[in-house]
C-alpha cells in the first residue's frame, strides 16, 4: 500500500453489554492488521456487573484504548457524540458494543482511502454473528445508492466517515436514538465529495434477541427515528416528498409529488391482440389503458397508441371510448420492430415525460403514474421502472440484473413477499436497468440517448436503452410501489436470437457481478434453459465471456 | 492586437448580404414594376444591378406593381410602421433580419390594409412574408390561410422523419462509442497482461537462459548436417 494511511477513531458507546461479548468486541479491534487506530469507549452509566472491569482491563492493556464515563445515562446518540468529541483520528469508524470487526477491516478501509483520496464516506459489506458463533446471512451491498438509503439504512456496518465532515454537519443529533447512524449518514452523504463501497465483509453484526439484527420489530422507536431522519433529509434537499413507514420494519417509503402541470405521454405499442387472462378473454391494450387511467389522479397526460394498421376497428373504437380525447393514435405499417414502434410513439408524443407501457400490462397501484414519474423531477435520475408480476402473482420484474454474464430480471419467479437481498423487493432503489414494459423517462433524456436501438427489434432493446441512460451519467431507479401485472410475451414470439445477445454485448460487454444486486444470493436458482430477458435461450449463450 | 474573429455585427451583415441576393431572386420572379425600399437595410443597389426599377422615397410608387421591401432590425421598426401609413403599395414584402417572429409586423400591416398574398413567396433561409393590399372578405382570408396550411402535414411529416433520423443516428453514435471504449479497454487489459509477462522472472529466465541455449542447439544441429 502506498500513500499515507489515516488514523481511525473507533467510536463505541457502551451500555450494559454482556461482559464476555464486550471482551470479544474489544479483541476484534486489538486483532486489527492495521495498527493506526484509537478506540474510544463511552460508558453510558452501565449498571451490569463486570462491564466496568472489562473496560478498565482493556484500557490498561493497550494505550490506544480510551474509556470515557458519562455522568448520566444519555442514550446512544449522546454517547456517540461524546466519543466523537474525543476523536483525534482523520476518520471515525462506528462499532457497536456487541459486534465484531473482521481482522482486516481497517486495513481495507485504509487502502480504499489511499485509492480514493476524496472519499468522505466508506461502507463495507457485513454479515451476522449468530448465537452459535457462526457468520451467517451475508449482505453484499450495492454500489452507492442514494435512493435505497432513503428506503433503508443499507450501508449500516462498517461505516467509516471523515471526522471533519461529521463535525461540520453537526455530529450525532439527539432525538434519533436507534437510527442515529442513519441520520448521520444521510447528512454526511448530502455533502460528501466521494462515497466508496468496499465490497468485502468487514463487520459481523451480533444477533442478540431484542437487537435490530435479530428482530426488526424490536425497536419501533428506532424505526420512527429513521422515518423522521429520512423526512428531514428530503426537506434539506428541497424535494417535494414525504417519508412514510415502508411495508417492512426498518424500511421507508418516499412519496414524491408530481407537479400537476407536468405533461406525461403514455406510449403503448400494440397490434390490438386479445388473449385469455384468468379465464376471460380480453383485448390487452384496452385493459392496459383502462387500468392506467383508472389508477391515476394526475390531470395532465395523453395516451399515444402506436397501432399496427391491421388493428381491428373495434379495438380503436374501444380505446376511444376508454381514453376519450386523451387518445392519440399513430398508425404503424411496417414489420414488427418494438424499438421503432416506441420511437415512433415518442415522436408523436407531446409530454415532458414519456412512459413506455406494454399493451399486456394491467396496472394495479393507485397513483402509479405520479409515483413512477415524480422521481424524474430529480435531474440526476434518468429512468424509472416498476414492479411487475406474472399472472400467478409471482414476480416477473424487480429491476434488471446483469450478472454472471447474463441479462435477466431480478427476483424472477419469487413470491411477492420475499425478503431476499435485504428486502430489496420492497424498497425503491437504484438498479442496472429496467424493463421497457413499464418505465418513465424525460423527453430530453430520451432524445439524448437516441431512443431505442432499432437494430434490436425484439429483445434486449431495454437492456441497451438502460445502458445508454447510465452511460449518459443518470441513475436508474426501480420503484417498488408501482405494481402491475405483466402477461409477458403473450402478444409476441418470446424466442431470443444469438445475434441479439451478441449485438448488445458487443456494445456494452457483460457483467460478472451486478453493481446494484451483487452476488445475487437469496434468489432462486436459474431455471434450465436459462430464463433471460425477453424469452428463453437454448443454452448459456454468454458462458465463458468476461 | 485586434481579434480576427468575426464580430456578431459583421456576421449578421454577411448573412444579410447572402439573404439579400436570394431575396432579389425572389423579387425578380414576382416581376415588379417598381420597388421602393423602406427601412434600414438598403436593397436598392442589388436591385438596380439586376435591372429592377427602384422608386425613391419622394416618388409616388406605381400603385399596382410597386413592392415595398422592408429590411430592418428592431431598431427601425417604428420607422417602417410609419412608412406603411402612407400606403400606396400594391404588395408589401416584410423581411426580418433577426430571428424574431414577423407576427407583430404582420398584424400592424393588417391594420393598414395588408394581408397575406394569395401567391406564396419562397426564399430559402430568409425570414419574409409577402402581403398584398386589399380588403378581403373573411371567406377569402380563410381560403388564403388554409391554402398555406395545406402544406403543413407534409412539413410535419418531414420534420418527424428528420427527428427520427436524429434519434437513430445518435443511437448509432453512442453504440459505436461504447463499442470502441470496450475494445480500447480490452487492448489496455491485454497490454497490461503482456507487460506483466515480460517483467516476470519466468520470462527473464526464458529470455536470458533458455533462448540462447536454443540458438546454440540450432547451430550445433546445422553443423552436424
Instruction: Name the band, by pLDDT with cuts 50, 70 and 90, for residue B109.
Output: confident
Question: Is the ipTM reported for this complex over the cut 0.90?
Answer: no
Cα-based angle B115, B63, B138 (whole degrees, multiple of 5): 25
Residue A183: φ, ψ to 5°? -60, -45
Chain B segment 119-178 residues within 8 A of A by beta carbon are 160, 163-164, 166-175, 178
The residue among B81, B107, B138 that closes a domain is: B138
Q: Are residues B30 and B87 in the same domain?
A: yes
Give the pLDDT band of residue A216 (cuts 50, 70, 90).
low
How many distinct structural domains can be found in chain B? Answer: 2
Residue B117 clears pLDDT 70, i.e. is over it? yes
Whether residue A470 has pLDDT greater than 90:
yes
Q: What percentage of chain A carries pLDDT values higher than 90?
A: 82
DSSP B96-155: ESSSS-SHHHHHHHHHTTEEE-SS----TT-EEEEEEES---HHHHHHHHHHHHTTHHHH
How would you classify the pairing of strands B66-72 and B91-96? parallel
User: What is the reported pLDDT for A165?
Assistant: 97
Partner B contacted by A9 (CB < 8 A): no
Higher pLDDT, A440 or A502: A440
Q: Evaluate whether residue B109 is within a structural domain.
A: yes
Compute the nearest-CA separation of B1 from chain A (Å): 41
Are residues B82 and B119 located together in one domain of the fold? yes
Q: Cβ distance A200 to A124 under 8 Å?
A: yes
Q: Is A473 on the interface with B (CB under 8 A)?
A: no
Q: State residue B224's pLDDT score.
A: 67
| Mutate which: B171, B178, B180, B193, vs A, most A CBs within 10 A | B171
A347 vs B28, residue with greater confidence: A347
State residue B118's pLDDT score: 78
Residue B216 lies in a domain: yes
Lowest mean pLDDT among A27-41, A186-200, A452-466, A503-517: A503-517
Does residue B151 sit within a domain?
A: no
Res A546: pLDDT:
21
Residue B63 confidence (pLDDT): 39
Domain boundary (B89, B105, B138) is at: B138
**Per mean pLDDT, which of A351-355, A423-427, B216-220 is the most reliable?**
A351-355
Tell me how far apart the alpha carbons of residues B187 and B9 are, in angstroms, rounded to a whole number.
50
Question: Please, which pLDDT band fits residue A131 given cuts at 50, 70 and 90?
Answer: confident
Question: Does residue B146 form part of some domain?
Answer: no
Q: Are residues B217 and B117 in the same domain?
A: no
In-domain check, residue B149:
no
Residue showing cell 380588403: B135
pLDDT, averaged across chain A: 90
Q: What is the pLDDT of residue B103?
A: 78
Measured between CB atoms, does A494 come within 8 Å of chain B? no
Least confident of A245-254, A415-424, B103-112: B103-112
Contact A343 B164 (CB under 8 A): yes
As a whole number, mean pLDDT of residues A205-226 equals 72
Give per-residue pLDDT as tens, A357-370.
Answer: 999 999 999 999 99
Condensed to tens digits (0 to 9), the pLDDT of residues A323-341 reads 999 999 999 999 999 999 9
Per-residue pLDDT reduced to its tens digit, A151-196: 999 999 999 999 999 999 999 999 999 999 999 999 999 999 999 9
* Per-residue model confidence as pLDDT tens digits over B198-224: 888 888 887 777 777 777 778 887 776
Q: For residue B167, give the nearest of A343, A471, A507 by CB distance.
A: A343
Q: Which of A278, A281, A225, A226 is nearest to A392 (CA)?
A: A278
Residue B187: domain span = 158-224
Residues of B whose CB is below 8 A from A461: none
Beta carbons of A347 and B167 less than 8 Å apart: yes
Instruction: Give the rounded distance of the alpha carbon of A526 from its chain centre.
Output: 22
- Identify which of B168, B174, B179 has the shortest CB distance to residue A454: B168
> Is the pLDDT at B6 greater than 50, yes or no?
no
Note the pLDDT of residue B32.
Answer: 64
Looking at the structure, do residues B75 and B111 belong to the same domain, yes or no?
A: yes
Q: Do residues B85 and B33 share a domain?
A: yes
CB A81 within 8 A of CB A72: no
Closest CA to A128 of A207, A17, A185: A207
In chain A, residues with a C-beta closer than 8 Å to the C-beta of B153 are none
pTM: 0.80
Position A545 scores a pLDDT of 23
Query: From its phi and psi, is residue A75 left (phi > 0), alpha (psi between -120 and 50) or beta?
Result: left
Tens-place pLDDT, residues B65-89: 556 666 555 556 656 656 665 556 6
Which range among A232-246, A412-426, B125-139 shows the weakest confidence by mean pLDDT?
A: B125-139
In a domain, B147, yes or no: no
The pLDDT of A140-149, averaged and rounded, is 96
Instruction: Judge if B49 and B79 occupy the same domain.
Output: yes
Show residues of chain A in contact with B164, CB under 8 Å: 343-344, 347
- B71 and B110 share a domain? yes
| Highest mean pLDDT pick, B164-168, B181-185, B212-216 | B164-168
* Residue A441 clears pLDDT 70, i.e. is over it: yes
Domain assignment of residue B153, yes or no: no
Residue B3 lies in a domain: no
Q: Please name the member of B160, B171, B179 whose beta carbon is closest to the beta carbon of A450.
A: B171
Rounded to a whole number of angstroms, the distance from the CA of A450 to the nearest CA of chain B is 4
Distances (CA, A) of A334 to A331, A341, A495: 9, 9, 20
B36 & B131 share domain: yes
B121/B209 same-domain check: no
Q: Please name each of the domains of chain A with its CATH number.
A: 8-244 (3.90.550.10), 264-536 (3.90.550.10)
Q: What is the pLDDT of residue A287?
A: 96
Of B110, B138, B166, the last residue of a domain is: B138
Q: Verify whether the Cβ–Cβ distance A447 to B164 is below 8 Å.
A: no
Average pLDDT of the segment spanning A286-313:
96
Quickly state the pLDDT bin for A543 (edges 50, 70, 90): very low
User: In this predicted structure, what is the pLDDT of residue B20?
Assistant: 76
Mean pLDDT of B26-49: 71
Question: Helix or strand or coil: residue A305?
Answer: strand
What is the CATH classification number for the domain harbouring B129?
A: 3.40.50
Amino acid at each position: 500500500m502506498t500513500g499515507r494511511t489515516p488514523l481511525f477513531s473507533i467510536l463505541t458507546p457502551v451500555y450494559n453489554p454482556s461482559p464476555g461479548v464486550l471482551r470479544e468486541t474489544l479483541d476484534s479491534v486489538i486483532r486489527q492488521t492495521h495498527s493506526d487506530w484509537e478506540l474510544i469507549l463511552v460508558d453510558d452509566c452501565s449498571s451490569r456487573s463486570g462491564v466496568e472491569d472489562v473496560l478498565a482491563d482493556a484500557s490498561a492493556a493497550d494505550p490506544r484504548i480510551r474509556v470515557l464515563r458519562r455522568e448520566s445515562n444519555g442514550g446512544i446518540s449522546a454517547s456517540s457524540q461524546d466519543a466523537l468529541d474525543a476523536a483525534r483520528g482523520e476518520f471515525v469508524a462506528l462499532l457497536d458494543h456487541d459486534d465484531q470487526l473482521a481482522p482486516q477491516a481497517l486495513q481495507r478501509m485504509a487502502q480504499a482511502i489511499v485509492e480514493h483520496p476524496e472519499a468522505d464516506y466508506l461502507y463495507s459489506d457485513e454479515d451476522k454473528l449468530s448465537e452459535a458463533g457462526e457468520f451467517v446471512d451475508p449482505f453484499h451491498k450495492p454500489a452507492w445508492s442514494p435512493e435505497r438509503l432513503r428506503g433503508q439504512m443499507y450501508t449500516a456496518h462498517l461505516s467509516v466517515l471523515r471526522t471533519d465532515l461529521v463535525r461540520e454537519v453537526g455530529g450525532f443529533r439527539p432525538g434519533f436514538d436507534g437510527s442515529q447512524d442513519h441520520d448521520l449518514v444521510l447528512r454526511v452523504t448530502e455533502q460528501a465529495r466521494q462515497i466508496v463501497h468496499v465490497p468485502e465483509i468487514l463487520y459481523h453484526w451480533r444477533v442478540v434477541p431484542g437487537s435490530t439484527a435479530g428482530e426488526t420489530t424490536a425497536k419501533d422507536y428506532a424505526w420512527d427515528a429513521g422515518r423522521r431522519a429520512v423526512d428531514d433529509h428530503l426537506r434539506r434537499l428541497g424535494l417535494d416528498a414525504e417519508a412514510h413507514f415502508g411495508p417492512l420494519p426498518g424500511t421507508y417509503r418516499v412519496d414524491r409529488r408530481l407537479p400537476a402541470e407536468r405533461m406525461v405521454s403514455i406510449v403503448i405499442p400494440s397490434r390490438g391482440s386479445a388473449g385469455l387472462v384468468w379465464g376471460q378473454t380480453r383485448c390487452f391494450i384496452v385493459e392496459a389503458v383502462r387500468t392506467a387511467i383508472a389508477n391515476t389522479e394526475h390531470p395532465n397526460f395523453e395516451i399515444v397508441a402506436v397501432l399496427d394498421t391491421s388493428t381491428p376497428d373495434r379495438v380503436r373504437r374501444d380505446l376511444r371510448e376508454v381514453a376519450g380525447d386523451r387518445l392519440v393514435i399513430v398508425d404503424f405499417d411496417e414489420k414488427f420492430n418494438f424499438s421503432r414502434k416506441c420511437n415512433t410513439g415518442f415522436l408523436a408524443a407531446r409530454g415532458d415525460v414519456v412512459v413506455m407501457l406494454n399493451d399486456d400490462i394491467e396496472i394495479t397501484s393507485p397513483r402509479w403514474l405520479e409515483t413512477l414519474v415524480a422521481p424524474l423531477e430529480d435531474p440526476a435520475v434518468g429512468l424509472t421502472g416498476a414492479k411487475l408480476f406474472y399472472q400467478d402473482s409471482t414476480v416477473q420484474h424487480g429491476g434488471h440484473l446483469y450478472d454472471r454474464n447474463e441479462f435477466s430480471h431480478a427476483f424472477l419467479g419469487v413470491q411477492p413477499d420475499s425478503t431476499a437481498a435485504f428486502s430489496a423487493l420492497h424498497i425503491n432503489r437504484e438498479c442496472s436497468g429496467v424493463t421497457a414494459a413499464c418505465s418513465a423517462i424525460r423527453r430530453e433524456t430520451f432524445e439524448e440517448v437516441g431512443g431505442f436501438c432499432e437494430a434490436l427489434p425484439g429483445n434486449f432493446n431495454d437492456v441497451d436503452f438502460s445502458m445508454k441512460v447510465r452511460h449518459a451519467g443518470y441513475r436508474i431507479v426501480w420503484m417498488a410501489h408501482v405494481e402491475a401485472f405483466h402477461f409477458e410475451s403473450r402478444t409476441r414470439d418470446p424466442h431470443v436470437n444469438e445475434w441479439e445477445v451478441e449485438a448488445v454485448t458487443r456494445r456494452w460487454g457483460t457483467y460478472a457481478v451486478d453493481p446494484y444486486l451483487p452476488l445475487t444470493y437469496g434468489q432462486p436458482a436459474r431455471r434450465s434453459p436459462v430464463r433471460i430477458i425477453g424469452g428463453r435461450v437454448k443454452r448459456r449463450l454468454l458462458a465463458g465471456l468476461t | 492586437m485586434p481579434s480576427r474573429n468575426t464580430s456578431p455585427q459583421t456576421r449578421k451583415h454577411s448573412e444579410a448580404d447572402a439573404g439579400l441576393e436570394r431575396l432579389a431572386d425572389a423579387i425578380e420572379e414576382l416581376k415588379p414594376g417598381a420597388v421602393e425600399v423602406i427601412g434600414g437595410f438598403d436593397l436598392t443597389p442589388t436591385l438596380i444591378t439586376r435591372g429592377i426599377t427602384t422608386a425613391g422615397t419622394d416618388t409616388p410608387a406605381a400603385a399596382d406593381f410597386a413592392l415595398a421591401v422592408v429590411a430592418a432590425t428592431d431598431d427601425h421598426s417604428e420607422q417602417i410602421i410609419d412608412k406603411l401609413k402612407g400606403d400606396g403599395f400594391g404588395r408589401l414584402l416584410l423581411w426580418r433580419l433577426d430571428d424574431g417572429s414577423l407576427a407583430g409586423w404582420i398584424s400592424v400591416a393588417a391594420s393598414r390594409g395588408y394581408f397575406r398574398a394569395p401567391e406564396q413567396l419562397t426564399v430559402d433561409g430568409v425570414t419574409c412574408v409577402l402581403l398584398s393590399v386589399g380588403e378581403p372578405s373573411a371567406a377569402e382570408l380563410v381560403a388564403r390561410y388554409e391554402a398555406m396550411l395545406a402544406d403543413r402535414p407534409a412539413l410535419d411529416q418531414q420534420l418527424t422523419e428528420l427527428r427520427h433520423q436524429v434519434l437513430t443516428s445518435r443511437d448509432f453514435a453512442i453504440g459505436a462509442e461504447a463499442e470502441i471504449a470496450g475494445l480500447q479497454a480490452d487492448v489496455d487489459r491485454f497490454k497490461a497482461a503482456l507487460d506483466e509477462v515480460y517483467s516476470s522472472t519466468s520470462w527473464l529466465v526464458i529470455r536470458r537462459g533458455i533462448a540462447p541455449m536454443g540458438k546454440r542447439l540450432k547451430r550445433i544441429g546445422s553443423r552436424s548436417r
